[in-house]
Amino acid sequence: MKAQLAAKIAEIIKARKWTQQHAARLLGMTQPKLSNMLRGQFRGVSETKMIECLAKLGRDVQIVVGPDRHSEIEGRIEVVFAA
């Protein structure tokens, strides 16, 4: 999940042609921490922080918990990005 969220954050930053320094300032983190996150080094960066970054980048984020499957099979976790 973290990899998917980081990839979307990177995509948005690249599309806006922002430097990591500029993006980090807007996202409330240091440039080295942002750089590490975008390179897949997630130590010290929670899913919650990544979701907050997406919101700061103007994206709406919804977490939907589906209905009970009435089964002993574990539910699934997926990240879906709307078009």
The domain ranges of the chain are: 1-83
Q: Count CA atoms closer than 13 A to 72's CA, side-chain side.
A: 0
Q: Is the separation of the CB atoms in 31 and 24 below 8 Å?
A: yes
Q: Is the separation of the CB atoms in 46 and 2 below 8 Å?
A: no
pLDDT tens digit sequence for 12-62? 999 999 999 999 999 999 999 999 999 999 999 999 999 999 999 999 999
- From CA 29, how far away is CA 15, in angstroms rounded? 20
Task: Say which CATH topology domain 1-83 has.
Answer: 434 Repressor (Amino-terminal Domain) (1.10.260)
Reported as type and span, the H/E element at residue 23 is: helix 20-27
CB neighbour class for 19 (10 Å; exposed up to 12, middle 13-18, buried from 19)? exposed
Is the pTM higher than 0.85? The answer reads: yes
pLDDT at 70: 82
pLDDT at 69: 79
